[in-house]
Amino acid sequence: NIDAKTHPYISTGLKENKFGVGEKEALEMFLWAKKSAFLEPVSVHFHIGSQLLDLEPIIEASQKVAKIAKSLIALGIDLSFFDVGGG
């Protein structure tokens, strides 16, 4: 739930926007994927909006997602990539 301080029509980082899941749901999804015979979770990715003029929202989102990535690694999910989306 990060405010990218961009135009409301292209903002994707807030809870009321059309994209994404919360931290709890993300952890559950990764654990579900790890159990699947057909999926191999190897990356975390986030995108909080396009045309950002300030780096602070990206830094804040990176810190939050890094905590999730550390939790996933502690749960035995071998992550290879940390993707900071943007546009």
Q: Model confidence over 23-65: pLDDT tens digits?
A: 898 999 999 999 999 999 999 988 777 777 888 888 988 999 9
Q: Which residue has the higher pLDDT, 13 or 70?
A: 70
| pLDDT tens readout for residues 51-60 | 778 888 889 8
Closest CA to 26 of 65, 80, 76, 73: 65
pTM given for the model? 0.73
Q: Where are the domains of the chain?
A: 23-84
